[in-house]
Each structure stands twice: as structure tokens, then as C-alpha cells.
Chains A and B, each alone.
Chain A
Amino acid sequence: MPVEDPATQTPADRRAPAPQPGDPLAIQVEGLEKSFRIPTHRVDSFKERLVRPFAAREYRELHALQGISFEVRKGEFFGIVGRNGSGKSTLLKLLASIYRPDAGRIRMAGRLAPFIELGVGFNMELTARENVVLNGVMMGLTPGETRRRLDAVIDFAELGEFAELKLKNYSSGMLVRLAFSVMMEADADVLLIDEVLAVGDASFQQKCADAFHAMKARGKTIVLVTHEMATVEEYCHRAMLIDGGHIRQIGDPAETGREYLKLNFERGVETGDATSGPGADGARLLDCWLEDAAGERTTTLEHGEEIHLRAEIEVEREATGLGVGFVIANADGLGLFEFGTQVKAADGSDVVPAGTRTLVKAQLENPLAPGRHFVHCGAQSNRGGGVHVYVHNALDFVVFGTVGTKGIVSIEHEIEASVETEEKR
């Protein structure tokens, strides 16, 4: 696989030439509609069906998609963005033939990779080798073809020595690597991807990025669904914004990105724009970012890896007793916990002079369950003229890992269980 050196290229260069209007189509969607019936009372046994024969007749109709039409050309990298519940995942599932449309038509050229998430076809009880063969066949290769490609897949995932190991003994990183190589090797013409770029450690992420560029170079068509505008702007030729089951914007990724931010802005009182906005008076949040242990900026953390949060705040007026703080929220927007401190000037006083910048450094343990998280950041001083700034979703990051936790956080604990002996009773 040809590997480009991303360091020497700007994002714009790294984008393969965009397909032109005359190029053949890879995906054509016309008037797509899909709604779900959500029963007010779910009947899930024969017993209940007998007791309440009409219970399931009452339901609420949820219109997930209402008349979506678009086209994707061969070789295009197409982004779909939208908030939670906007219908973007439903659209992807329709494209992938997991759901059947209520109305409208989907047409596609070439072979489609039938996965929308990495590693879904994996059986933990089987070895990597068996899983690769099974997955290959799922993608439409013959068992013979798959066996021929087996070594290449294992090599790409850098798992040569673990090929005969059952997947249940794999680490999360190894699983992701294997899943990704399987997908790359399937050599499908059209790929549908739901938020996969932010997985694995930094070096494998780079490898994935390279692989994506190589796929672009080979003229593969990729449809990517994501929350992350940075990804869309870096990779996509065109992007589509879905809101409430309708197409809100389609075209230039940067334009779509701005529209997406505007949409978030309309929803919340506060802005998603990290520099200014109505949430600010006399203070500005200049930047907010996450660092890894080495002090490099990052957007992903492994489950349990320490969180290093940084923010830079500038006050326009002198502020006394300025407090700064962060709120960590999960993907559902639920605030998990907050923490903050008072800003101290160099001389130990609590007066922050006008025009100065404050660097906030926070370091905390990472109890967060795997998934996407958001950071809200704010600063406030009530004395004197009073300044404040609050930025909703100033930063988002992904915690990866496969720890099966039922909660939203995992906290340190001591627990003991012992069998009582006769005497103690």
C-alpha cells in the first residue's frame, strides 16, 4: 500500500482530486423516506399478546428521514454530519441494506463493504485467522480468495504472532487493528463508515489515515458519518448536513462545517465556537485542548489514561477573583462532573490585569467510559465590572477501549467478597 508522508502536505494537497460532474455515479439516492413505529406499549411475549390483543396498535410514528435525495460520484469522499437523532445513522443503515426504505430509491455501483462499524462481525470465541476468513466471506469474497489474502491482512494489522489467538484474549487496540485491516483488504468499491477514524493509538491512527488516502488515490468511494468537523474538512470532497430528517446543506465541507456549528449554536444558548460569542463578556476563551502525557495535542485517550486539559483565557477588563472551570459531559450531553479553581497572579494577588492571558492546566484521572465526551469551559468574576465567558462544547474527545462498563464512569473502589466460615456465623 503506498504511503504518503502527511507531514510534507497540507490538508488540501492530501485530498485526492475531486470527481467532476461528468464522472460516473457511485451512489444515487432519490426521495428516501424512513419512519419507525414506536409502540407506546411494547408487546414482546405471546402471553401479553393474548392478554392485551390491541396493545400494539397504539404507536408513535418517528420520521427519521423525510425525502432525502443526493448523489455521490465514483472516487468521492463524502461526509455526512448531523446532530444525534438527525437521521444520519438511519441513512447509513439504509445505504448498507440493514434497513429497508419506506419510500424512495437507492442505487449503487460496485461492491459495497457491508459493515458500518469496525469489527461487528467478529466472534470473540474464534481465532483471528478464522475471523478474518469469516469476515472476508461476509464482504463477498470467496473463501479461497480470503485465505489467499489472509497473511496480508494479519501483517497489516501487525498481529503475525497472535494469528492463532482467540479474539477474547486480544487487547482493544489489537482488535481495532485487525478490524481495520479486514476492511481495507476486502477491497470494496464503496465503503460506508460510521465514526471510525478516532480509534486506536496514535501510530495506528496514522496508518489508518494513510490507508484512507491510498484508498482515495485508488478511486474508492467513501461515505463517512461523523460528529467531527475536523475529519470532514480534512478528508471529504463534499459534505452533507442532515437535520430533522432533511438535508440542510450539501456541498463544500467547510461551508457545511460552518452550517453545522450554526445549528449547534441555535440549539444551545452557548456557542460551540471557541473564541467568542454571546456567552462572553469581557473575557475570551482563546483555546482549549487536550494533551497526552508527552505534552502533544490529542483528541483521543485510552480508557484510564490521565486527562491533561489546557485552556487559554484572555480578560479584556481587570478582573478580581476570577474563577475558571471545566465541565465534562458525555455524548448524550449529560454533565458528569465539574472542577475549577481561582486564578492567581504572579505576585500572589487575585487581581488579573486587563489584556493578560491565563493558562489553565488541569490534570485528572480518567474515569470515563469509552465514547465521545465534551468539555464545557468557562471563567467568571463577579466583583468589580464582572467578566464572564462560557463555551459549551469547547472541546470534544474520544475515550477508546473495550472495557465493558455499564456505567458512564468507573470509579476507584475497594471491594471484597469472602465466604463466611461456620464459626463466624
Chain B
Amino acid sequence: MTVTTPDADLREVHGPSALGGGRRRFFDLLWLMAVTEFRRTYFGTVFGYLWSLVRPLMLFGVLLFVFTQVFKVGSELDDYPVLLLLGIVQFTFFQEATTAAVTSVVAQEGVVRKTQFPRLVIPLATVLTSFFNFCLNLVIVLVFILAWGVEPMWTWLLFPVAVAALFVLTAAGSMILSVLFVRFRDVAIIWTVLAQVLFYATPILYPLGPVGEKPPVLDEWQEHLLMLNPLAVIFEQVRVWMLEPSAPSAAEAAGGAIHLLPALAIFLGTCAFAVWIFNREAPRIAEDL
């Protein structure tokens, strides 16, 4: 059959993609999916939200006991409880969002295989849902911080910058994991272990720099090494901005601002890799499932 009438209305169909179907539809879908899922998980049942709060609080309680009563590292530092709580709430967001995202695309198999759906919405919506939960938890943490007696500081205004960086890193990780899981099903197990490793490679349990009157927990080179981890950089900077202006900033812990460049490179590299691999795999997800 030959082409007879070239029609002005005809537009090329490009097949499935990460964003497919227009920018507005993408954001509408993303927002709607995240909000609906959030409402369902956290407000669908009476204890829905409470449960999501209980988990980090339990962890906090246990760790606080262990690190102030058993190992004395925590009791030397006045702000240790708030530091620990803030760290746990931030890390819980990162861990929950990425873990949920791993299986998200595969779980939405029906949608992926039978509708033209912007693929990127799926992992991002799970991240956004966890983010809403994170924001609620932050309100509670803030109350706790004020009750603890931390004076509000102008640097609190910088906190959203750190949260934004954490969000971007979480989203990038989720994109990579969700798309890899389509092909390699052991990604879920590998990630559980890696996330655990990241927890210890981030200054949550142990403070950097001098602990009260005592010398630092870590050697200088260990602190430098830790600052390769973008999460560690973010968390340490949050500590300085939110709780202790006198604590070593990320740049100080790394041994100079220039030494933060590797962490920045890892951060940007992760984001670039996420965009690249998601764009590469998105058209094929329906076939690989």
C-alpha cells in the first residue's frame, strides 16, 4: 500500500519512553499516584501513619539506649539524641523509598504491559509517597528538637537545600534500582545488604569530630574516606545547619572543600547514570517483563 494523502494532523508515534505522553500528563500522574498511594497507606487504616512512625522511633529508642548506656560514645555529646533521631528519620526516608522503588515497576506489570504509561512515573511516585511521610516525620522531629532546647538558627533555612539533595539522590537511586530489577531479580537482595552498608557508612550512630571533651571517634583519614559518600556529606551538613554550628562541616571533615569534589562527582554521576539507564531501558521494559 502506498501513501496517498499526507495529512497535516498526523504526528509520529515514538513508542514508549520514560516521560511519554506529554509533560503535563506526566506530572499530573505522578502527583495523583503519589497522593493516592500516600492516603491509602497512611490514612486508610487507623494505625496507618502511626505504624510508619513507630518503626523509626523504635530504632531510635534501641540505638539511643545502646549508644548512651552500653557504649558511652553518645552520652559524651549533649545533642546526641536529636542528632541520632534526625539521622534516622532522614535515612529511613532514603531506605524506605529506594526499597519500595526496587520492585515498583515489576509490581505495576499490568500497567506497563498494557497501557502507554510514562514509565518514570512509577518509581518516582513511590519516592514521592515516602517523601510525604518523611515531611510528616520531620514536623515531629522539629518539635523534638525545639523541646530539646536547640535554639532556632538562620541556618535552618538551608535545611531544604539538604533535603532537596537527599530527594534527588534517592530518586536517582530508585530509578536505577527499579529498572535493573526488571532484568536482574537479585537486585532486591543485593540492595538490602548495600543499604545496610550505607547506613554504617553515614555518620548517624557516631558523630564526626571531637566528642564533647574527648577526641574524635574516627581517625582523620577515616573521616576523609567517609566524605566520599554523598549521603554522609548531606547528613553532616544537616547536623551543622540544624543542631551544632560548632561541629565539623562536611568540608572540614573531608579535609578541605576541594576534597568534597569526589562526593559531588559520585552524586552527579549517580544522577546521570540514572537518567541514562532509565532512558535506555524504558522502551524495553514491557518486553522484558
Contact = CB atoms under 8 A, between A and B. Distances in A.
B117 A114 contact: yes
Given A99-B286, A130-B36, A138 B110 contact: no
Given A70-B1, A106-B12, A130-B36, A96 B116 contact: yes
B287 interface: yes
Interface residues of A, number: 49
Interface in A7-59: 21-22, 24-25, 28, 30, 36, 44-47, 49
A306 B236 CA distance: 70
A49 B184 CA distance: 9
Contact of A28 (B3, B24, B186): B3
Instruction: Give 5 closest A-B pairs by Cβ, nearest first.
Output: A100-B15, A109-B9, A114-B116, A107-B10, A45-B186
B103 to A, nearest CB: 14
Contact of B33 (A47, A94, A101, A134): A134
Contacts of A108: 10-11, 13
B287 A36 contact: yes
Interface in A269-325: none
Given A24-B5, A70-B1, A47 B186 contact: yes
Given A46-B186, A120-B110, 15 more contacts: A25-B5, A28-B10, A44-B185, A45-B186, A93-B286, A98-B16, A98-B286, A99-B16, A100-B14, A107-B10, A114-B21, A121-B110, A134-B33, A142-B24, A142-B28
B248 interface: no
Interface size class of chain B, counting residues whose CB lies under 8 Å from the partner chain: 35 or more
Contact of B12 (A24, A107, A125): A107
Interface string B2-40: 011101011111111000111011001100110010001
Contacts of B36: 123, 126, 130, 134
A108 B14 CA distance: 10
A316 B36 CA distance: 68
A105 interface: yes
A46 B184 contact: yes
Contacts of A28: 3, 7, 10
A106 B44 CA distance: 43
B77 interface: no
B216 interface: no
B15 A97 contact: yes
Given A30-B3, A71-B4, A140-B22, A97 B13 contact: yes
A250 B1 CA distance: 10
Interface string A101-133: 100011111101011110011010110001001
B15 A94 contact: yes
Contacts of B33: 134
Contacts of B115: 96, 98, 114-116, 120-121, 138
A86 interface: no
B114 interface: yes
B72 interface: no
B25 A137 contact: yes
Contact of B7 (A24, A45, A96, A125): A24
B29 A138 contact: yes
Contacts of A49: 184
B284 interface: yes
Interface in B66-118: 110-117
Contact of A137 (B20, B29, B111): B29
B183 interface: yes
B168 to A, nearest CB: 25
B58 interface: no
A137 B5 CA distance: 33
Nearest to B25: A140
A100 B17 CA distance: 9
B187 interface: yes
